[in-house]
Amino acid sequence: MTFTTRFAPSPTGPLHLGHAYSALLAHDLAIQAGGTFLLRIEDIDLSRARPEWEAMIFNDLAWLGLAWPEPVMRQSERIGVYQAVLDDLWARGLLYPCTCSRRDIQSAAAAPQEGAPMFGPDGLIYPGTCRPTEAAANALSRRNRPTDLPLRLNMTRATAAVGEEVGFTEKGQGPEGEAGEIRVTAWQLTHGIGDIVLARRDMGTSYHLSVVVDDAAQAITRVVRGQDLFEATAIHVLLQALLDLPHPDYHHHRLIRDPAGKRLAKRDDARAIARFREDGASPSDIRAMVGL
Ligand code: GLU
């Protein structure tokens, strides 16, 4: 299989040094392997995505010397594809609607019988307030899928459907130095991740669902991205197993931090590539700054 990787930014702010590192690393790995580097615009959050940020992404990446095949995949044009996948998961009794507010989840998770609240890749682990009983889950799956409510993955049923564990090959390094064959057990998924939202009310999909569907649609063989997404990869390999999609290899890379050691955020304009460009930096200066 041809080595295929991608850079998948969300056009919700300027690209910063951390994005430059991720994109350059993915591109370099593709060139070294004689493979393909793709660009995908992850713009499902229409309340935050802006055409001007997208234009700036194209501009900054081209300035850095990156090239990619056109047309690029744009997630906002693929909502129908995600809906079909949600229909399938719904019919299999793996999803349920959830009307809990953030505050409901906080107070349920803080209830004394729950022990100390636990955090997963999406924040507080859902305490299961709206999760149906087994009989109710089966009945629910025979009804039409609600399209106006957030839908959660029933992690207990999902793990039962895929077996005791899922796994992936780490070609880079996780935040704790994890490398090689990484196993993710059903227990880790149910206790460390829980019932995550797969369809958000405002988008009709979610980052986790779209990224998995699109990595498969683009035949990605190597996902290159920051260590901040290492925990989320457990969700992604589970979804691949549930949807019978191939598992790409993953290369999680170190995070670029500001001088105080803090992870860069979209709002950190001081480290935006555009700012360095204005100040006269060259693409090789940017490479040097990120240690490439
Ligand atoms: N769109 C995601 C972001 O901007 C990255 C997704 C990924 O690389 O899997 O953080």
Tell me the CA–centroid distance for residue 7 and ligand 1, in Å: 8
Residue 292, C-beta contacts closer than 8 angstroms, at least 6 positions apart:
21, 24, 25, 28
Ligand 1 atom having least distance to the Cα of 215: 9
Q: Whose CA is nearest to atom 2 of ligand 1?
A: 9
Ligand 1 atom having least distance to the Cα of 225: 8
Distance in angstroms (rounded) separating the CA atoms of residues 182 and 120: 18
Ligand 1 atom having least distance to the Cα of 10: 4
Output the ligand 1 site: residues, CB below 6 A.
8-10, 42, 211, 225, 229
Instruction: Return the residue matching tokens 């405002």.
Output: 202
Ligand 1 atom having least distance to the Cα of 12: 4
One DSSP character per residue, 27-78 reads: HHHHHHTT-EEEEEE----TTT--HHHHHHHHHHHHHTT----SSPEEGGG-
Evaluate whether 253 touches 226 at the Cβ level (below 8 Å): yes
Burial class (CB in 10 A: 0-12, 13-18, 19+), 41: buried
Tell me the CA–centroid distance for residue 118 and ligand 1, in Å: 24
Buried b or exposed e, range 261-288, using 16+ CB within 10 angstroms: eeebebebeebbbeebbeeeeebeebbe
Q: Whose CA is nearest to atom 10 of ligand 1?
A: 9
Tell me the CA–centroid distance for residue 110 and ligand 1, in Å: 30
Rounded average pLDDT per 10-residue block, the chain, 292 residues: 96 95 98 98 96 97 98 98 98 97 89 79 94 96 96 98 96 98 97 96 95 98 97 98 98 91 74 93 96 94
Write down all domains in the chain, each with its CATH number in brackets.
1-76+257-292 (3.40.50.620), 78-210 (3.90.800.10)
Distance in angstroms (rounded) separating the CA atoms of residues 47 and 248: 30
Evaluate whether 29 touches 21 at the Cβ level (below 8 Å): no
Q: Whose CA is nearest to atom 7 of ligand 1?
A: 8
